[in-house]
Structure 1
Amino acid sequence: MNPFSSTPVLVAAALLTTGASAFAQNAPYPSKQVNVVTAFAVGSGPDAVLRLVGQKLGQRWKQPVTVENRPGGGGFVAIEAVRRAQPDGYTLLQLDSEHVSALPYLYAKRNFDTLKHFDAVAPLFLTPFFIAVPTQSPWKNMADLIKAAQTEPGSLSYGSWGVGSPGHLGGEWLDYLTGSKMTHVPYREVSQLFTSVANGDPAWSFASIPSSQGIYRAGKLRYLAVASPKRNPQMPDVPTVAESGGPAELDVNSFVSLLAPKGIAPAVRDKIHADVTAVLQDPEVKEKFATFAFQPITWPLAQMDQFAKGKAEQYRLLIQKANISLD
């Protein structure tokens, strides 16, 4: 038997394999299932809207889009699940702006910079925050709150849903802008936080509409202002911080976006961004976002990168100034 008789067969098989691989690489994106890993728990607002966006993308792409929940570890569980994936657009990651911009400073000993390991591919939504006080609070506006904080440094407390959360860093930002010094009180449960605020201890907190509306509608909370340059369309009677006598620079929000492992091809990145932007215009998607008071955002990629880097610089300043660490 000729020992080289199988060589043509092996060569042909190798060529077929190489050709199939090349075809897969050159096929229009997406040519197979796309998996999105999220740092948020099943049933949460970000999870619910992501599943609808994924469904709409699947219809548009004619490929399945799956959602895999990996909450915990300050976002690191989801991040580690995606960090070593191929940067081909078939494995994406849903994070909020704190995972992207604050995490490197909150966990400084880990020496991990989210923006060095991932490329942003599409923004999803922004959540504005209101300043909530008990209904019986003597403060009528932000000027009253700030005056009280400045009069007795350290005596005024504010709550948040965790160290390093937007509610915590927003309070640090207010201190920085006004020269005041307030005491932060972190809570493990959001519901417990707003029940405590309604009872007057702590004295106030930042609050999103969905997390605080139950107690607000029960008449136990008031919103002094929205920490945003513009009034919120869902609460148009609530003034901005600037209109309420506070610093106009106090803009407290969190935005959620999709990212891919570093090195994604620009054409694939642009494709995902364009299709997510189109899906966000879908009436059903808009209605779903509205139920959580999420504001869909369709920023260009350059604006998205700039916003994330700006938040990172602000968070670096606040975290280092207040010596906050989760290591």
Structure 2
Amino acid sequence: MNSTFLTLKRRHMVLAAAGALLATAAQAQPEAYPSKPVTIFTAFAPGSGPDAVLRLVSEKLSKTWNQRVLVENRPGGGGFIAIDAVKTKPADGYTLLQLDSEHLAALPHLYKSRNFETLKTFDPTAILFRTPFLLAVAADSKFKTVADVVAAAKAEPGKVSYGSWGVGSPGHLGGEELQMRTGTEMQHVPYREVSQLFTSVGSGDVSWSFGTLPSSQGPYKAGKLRYIAIAAPKRIPQMPDVPTMAEAGGPAMDVNSFVVLVAPRGLPAAVRDKIGADVAKAVAEPDVQARFNTFAFETLNWSAEEIGRQAAAKSKIYGELTRRKNISLE
């Protein structure tokens, strides 16, 4: 066997080994995300503001990813119906969940016996928007300012009523915060449906309620409601004549809710970052921004870490408010 033959044989062996290594490396490379359809569950009902935004954003993501993005509504149960549908899914980014800040920050205080902490079960993945709340009264209400509401509540403790769309909702907890800050006692009246709530406010069955622009615009445009303040640091362009709580003689309050996408805990950072970046790109598109403007939704550029920090800050406030009145959903 001559040296030339041996050299060629060694060269073939080296090339074969290199080919095997390349094949193994190629097999080890994860598929680019997403390589199959993505399902986003939501705790919100069809037709709600968060649902409308999610469907717009899902259409954008479907085009960006070249994959179907399905939306599954699972409202009810304080958010647990949607949560239970997602929490045991793989942490691979193919099943996401739309929640709001109250699902993240209030549920642990409202359901203490469950020993459930949302952000120990899910990873924050992308921010969608934040919405402010306005204080609404009947169009013919005697209350013209927040100072009027507070004065009436102080004059007759427990007589002034306020409504919300459920125990533990931002409207309920915002009302508790107003009482805490003003040293008043008011009667909370929870409703099952947002439409029923604002019908009752408009007819004077309850004295007032916090509400978002999209949830209360129907009765407002029909002349049944009047906004006397916005619970935010500054006025909003959609309602420039509505003063802030502080300008209307009340405490400086910031009652808001932010809406996010989360994933089962353990989502790879690269997948999380891709989802976050692609959602931000979708939200920035003109038609989505136009919808945001209609709803008075605020665009945010929060990272996943910032979502966690903001949720922790809300959790501290909600913990204090729920302890104050022993508020529970159990």
Distance in 2, Cα, partners of 1:142 & 1:58: 45
Superposed displacement of residue 304, structure 1: 1.5
Indicate which of 90, 94, 99 corresponds to 1:90: 94
Distance in 2 of aligned mates of 1:273 and 1:189: 32
Q: Which amino acid aligns with 1:184?
A: H
Q: Secondary structure at the match of 2:129?
A: strand
Mapping for residues 41-60 of structure 1, pairs under 5 Å: 41-60=45-64
Once residues 21 and 190 of structure 1 are traced to their aligned partners in structure 2, the CA distance between those partners, rounded to angstroms, is 55
The Cα shift of 1:261 comes to: 0.8
Q: Alpha-carbon deviation of 1:199?
A: 2.1
Q: Which residue in the other structure is 2:311 paired with?
A: 308
Report the counterpart of residue 229 of structure 2 in structure 1. 225
Q: Which amino acid aligns with 1:154?
A: G
C-alpha separation in 2, matches of 1:45 and 1:221: 19
Q: Where does residue 154 of structure 1 map in the other structure?
A: 158
% identical aligned pairs? 61
TM-score, reference length from structure 1: 0.89
- 1:237 matches 2:237: no
Deviations 1:184-221 (A, max 9, x none): 01112222221221222211111111121122122222
Return the index of the structure with the highest Cα Rg.
2
Contact 1:24 1:31 in 2 (8 A): no
- Could you list the structure 1 runs, at least 4 aligned residues long, displaced by more than 4 angstroms after superposition: 19-25
Are 1:271 and 2:260 an aligned pair? no
Q: Distance in 1 between matches of 2:200 and 2:74?
A: 30
Contact 1:124 1:298 in 2 (8 A): no
**Letter aligned with residue 173 of structure 1:** E
Secondary structure class of the residue paired with 1:259: strand
In structure 1, C-alpha distance between the alignment counterparts of 2:121 and 2:51, rounded to whole Å: 23
Query: What SS does the corresponding residue of 2:226 show, helix, strand or coil?
Result: strand
Is 2:266 the partner of 1:283? Answer: no
| SS of aligned partner of 1:267 | helix
Q: Which aligned pairs between 1:176-195 and structure 2 lie closer than 5 A?
A: 176-195=180-199
Matched, 1:295 2:310: no
CA distance in 2 between counterparts of 1:47 and 1:22 reads 40
Distance in 2, Cα, partners of 1:117 & 1:133: 39
Give the alignment of 1:1-327 within 5 angstroms.
23=27, 26-248=30-252, 250-327=253-330
Partner Cα distance (1:115, 1:22) in 2:
35
The alignment's C-alpha RMSD in Å is 1.9
CA shift, 1:92, in A, is: 0.7
TM-aligned CA deviation for residue 292 of structure 1: 3.3
**Alpha-carbon distance in structure 2 between the residues aligned to 1:108 and 1:38:** 23
Q: In the alignment, what sits opposite 2:10?
A: none
Residues 158-206 of structure 1: per-residue CA shift (max 9 Å, x gap): 1111111111111001011111111101112222221221222211111
Structure 1, gaps ≥5 residues long:
1-18
